[in-house]
Amino acid sequence: MPPKHIIQLDDIEIEVTPKRVKNLNIRIYPSAGRVAMSIPKRTDLEAAVDFARKKYPWIKKHLKKGAVQKTKRNRKLAYLDGEIHPVWGNEAVLAVNEVNRRPAVQYKGDQLSLMVRPESPTEKRESVLNEWYRAELKREIPKLIEKWEDPMGVNVNEFGVKRMKTRWGTCNTRAKRIWLSLELAKKDPKCLEYVVVHEMVHLHERLHNKRFYRLIDQFLPDWRERDLLLKGEKRTC
Ligand SMILES: [Zn+2]
C-alpha cells in the first residue's frame, strides 16, 4: 500500500499510511533509512505529526544505527566503541573496556560490552567475540535438540558450531551429528531453530526432495518465514 502522506520532521521523512489500526505506530527500517507510520483512519495528520515529534529522538537513534551499520558493512570490523554488531537478530552497539583481567563479553539491552586487556589487537578482540557467539549457540542448541528429538522421532548424537562460508548447517546422517554456523548467533533465534530442525529432518531424509519438504512442513509449518529472516545471504543448508 503506497503511503498517503509524507511528514517532514526536520531531516526525517515519514511515510504515513492510514490503516485499520487502533493506535499510531511507527516502524523504522534502519538499513533502508525509511520511516513508516500507520495511523487509524480517523486520526488527522496533525495528531500524527505530534506523535512523530514525541518519538523524534527514538526515530533518530534507530536511523543512525542503520547509517552506522551501512558504512561499516563494507569495511572490515575494527572492534571499536560504537560499532554495530548483530546479536540474535538485534543490532547491538559495541562498548570496549580495556581492563587488566580475563577477557569477557556481556550483552545487555542493545549494548555489547567487550572486556579485553589494554592494547589487545583486533584479532584478539575478534576471537573473544567469536568465542562468545559460540558459547551463546552452545547454550541454545541443546535446548532445541531436546525440544525436537521426541516430536520428530530422531536422535542427535552430537552437535558442533563452526565458521562456515557457504552454509548455515550440515548433517552427517550416519554419525547423527549436526554442525551449525557460528553466524546463526547473529540472527533471530527463530533462524537457529529453523536450521536445527532442517538438519534434524535430514536424519529422516538425506535429500532435499518432496519427502524432505513434506516433513519440514509438518514439523515447522512457518519455516518459509524463518527462511526469509535468513535471506539476503547466499547460504544453503
Ligand atoms: Zn539441507
What structural domains does the chain harbor? 5-73 (no CATH), 130-230 (3.30.2010.10)
Distance from C-alpha of 113 to C-alpha of 95, rounded to nearest angstrom: 5
CA–centroid distance, residue 190 to ligand 1 (Å):
17
Indicate whether this model's pTM tops 0.75. no
> Which pLDDT score, from 0 to 100, does residue 233 have?
52
Instruction: Assign 19 to helix, strand or coil.
Output: strand
Give me the mean pLDDT over the 28-40 stretch: 81
CA–centroid distance, residue 203 to ligand 1 (Å):
10
Decide which of 152 and 234 is more confident. Answer: 152
CA–centroid distance, residue 199 to ligand 1 (Å):
6
Using only C-alpha atoms, what is the Rg of the chain? Answer: 22
Give yes or no for residue 18 having a pLDDT over 80: yes
What percentage of the chain reaches a pLDDT higher than 90?
A: 62
Give yes or no for residue 66 having a pLDDT over 80: no
CA–centroid distance, residue 234 to ligand 1 (Å):
14
Instruction: Assign 38 to helix, strand or coil.
Output: strand
Give, for 98, the enclosing helix (H) or strand (E).
Answer: strand 90-98
CA–centroid distance, residue 89 to ligand 1 (Å):
22
**Which has the minimum average pLDDT: 42-46, 91-95, 210-214?**
42-46
Provide the CB-side half-sphere exposure for 159 (13 A, CA).
23
CA–centroid distance, residue 86 to ligand 1 (Å):
25
Residues with CB under 5 A from ligand 1 (ion): 237
- For residue 10, the tally of other CB atoms under 10 A from its CB is 8
**pLDDT tens-digit map of 78-120:** 899 999 999 999 999 999 999 999 999 999 988 999 999 999 9
CA–centroid distance, residue 198 to ligand 1 (Å):
6
> Which pLDDT score, from 0 to 100, does residue 71 have?
55
Give me the mean pLDDT over the 167-182 stretch: 96
CA–centroid distance, residue 237 to ligand 1 (Å):
4
CA–centroid distance, residue 26 to ligand 1 (Å):
37
CA–centroid distance, residue 139 to ligand 1 (Å):
23
What is the Cα 14 distance to its own chain's centre?
25
Is the four-CA dihedral 191, 193, 194, 196 of positive or negative sign?
A: positive
pLDDT bin (cut points 50, 70, 90) of residue 4 is: confident
Decide which of 160 and 76 is more confident. Answer: 160
CA–centroid distance, residue 168 to ligand 1 (Å):
9
CA–centroid distance, residue 230 to ligand 1 (Å):
14
Distance from C-alpha of 184 to C-alpha of 192, rounded to nearest angstrom: 6
Pick the closest to residue 162 from 145, 140, 185, 144 (CA basis).
185
pLDDT bin (cut points 50, 70, 90) of residue 232 is: low
Produce one character per residue of 71-89: b if its CB has 16 or more CB atoms within 10 Å, e if not. ebeeeeeebeeebbbbbbe
Give me the mean pLDDT over the 39-45 stretch: 89
> Which pLDDT score, from 0 to 100, does residue 234 have?
45
Indicate the average pLDDT of the chain.
89
CA–centroid distance, residue 73 to ligand 1 (Å):
28
CA–centroid distance, residue 202 to ligand 1 (Å):
7
Give yes or no for residue 29 having a pLDDT over 80: no
Give yes or no for residue 61 having a pLDDT over 50: yes
Decide which of 34 and 234 is more confident. Answer: 34
